Amino acid sequence: MTNSTQTTSQNQSSVSVVQIENPGTRITHIAFNGNNYDEWSRSFRLALLAKDKMGYIDGTITKPAETSDDFKIWRSTNALVTAWLSNSIETELAKSISYRPEAKQVWENIKQRFSPENEARIYRLKAEIIACRQAPTESIMAYYGRLTSLWDELMEYDAIPSCS
Q: Are residues 8 and 86 in the same domain?
A: yes
Residue 125 within any structural domain of the chain: yes
147 and 89 within one domain: no
pLDDT by residue (tens digit) across 75-100? 999 999 999 999 899 988 888 877 78
Check whether residue 103 and residue 122 sit in a common domain: no
Domains in the chain, number = 2
> Residues 6 or more apart from 88 whose CB is under 8 A from it?
26, 27, 28, 30, 31, 32, 40, 44
Same domain, 30 and 80: yes
Residues 145 and 105 in one domain: no
pLDDT digits (tens, 9 = 90+) for 36-51: 888 899 899 999 999 9
Within 8 A by CB and 6+ apart from 135, the residues are 143
Q: Evaluate whether residue 138 is within a structural domain.
A: yes
Q: 111-141 burial, b for 16+ CB within 10 Å, e for fewer?
A: eeebeeeeeebbeebeeeeeeeeeeeeeeee
Residue 164 in any domain: the answer is no
Cβ 14 vs Cβ 61: under 8 Å? yes
Instruction: Please tell me whether residues 131 and 91 are part of one structural domain.
Output: no
The C-alpha atoms of residue 16 and residue 13 are separated, in whole angstroms, by 5
* 10 & 22 share domain: yes
Residue range of the domain that includes 35: 3-114
Residues 152 and 92 occupy one common structural domain: no
pLDDT tens for residues 105-140? Answer: 999 988 888 886 667 778 888 999 999 999 999 999
Confidence (pTM): 0.65
Query: Considering only 11-15, 69-73, 154-158, which range has the smallest mean pLDDT?
Result: 11-15
